[in-house]
Amino acid sequence: MSPFENDKSIGVFYLARGSNPLDLTRRFAESYLNCPAGTDHTLTLICKGFQNQRQFDEHCSLFGGLEPSVIEVPDTGYDIGAYRAALRASKYDLFCLMNSHSIIRAPGWLKYLSESEFRRQLTITAWDAYADEASPSLGGGGAI
């Protein structure tokens, strides 16, 4: 057993904004489905400012048969408010918050993030990177 294996629950939260192109969520979903996390977790979409059920259905359908959980928040204030609402509504030991421009590029990404958290005994681990090859029409993006 790895010294980092644990019984901690992990929540992964992706912020999907109703005002953003659906392609941002599609790009994230494809990267999420193609790069296994490497550890157990629950995926939740934070749906900020969605106007109707069709928007919810379109975004959720991009994740195949996974059926992520959904937290609905209004499109007011900064995104940090949406993350705070998600944290208050959830009970996990660790949280991984991903913005609308996030792309996962490495298999085992969540395992590495969570091991980093346990190794350092930190309360927050933040990774931020921008992909040089990201489509300008999608506004760049953070990559893990």
**Assigned CATH class of 12-138:** alpha beta
Find out whether 96 and 15 touch, Cβ atoms under 8 Å.
no
pLDDT tens for 20-55 read 999 999 999 999 999 999 999 999 999 999 999 999
Q: Which residue has the tokens 């659906």?
A: 22
Q: Domain coordinates of the chain in residue numbers?
A: 12-138
**Spatial separation of the C-alpha atoms in residues 11 and 131, rounded to whole Å:** 24
Tell me the mean pLDDT in the region 7-30: 94
Q: What is the pLDDT of residue 94?
A: 86
DSSP H helices, the chain, are: 22-34, 53-61, 79-88, 109-120
Number of neighbours of residue 25 by Cβ within 10 angstroms: 25
pLDDT tens for 90-107 read 999 888 999 999 999 999
Does pLDDT of 119 surpass 50?
yes
In sign, the C-alpha dihedral spanning 70, 102, 31, 58 is positive
pTM, full prediction? 0.80
Find out whether 53 and 79 touch, Cβ atoms under 8 Å.
no
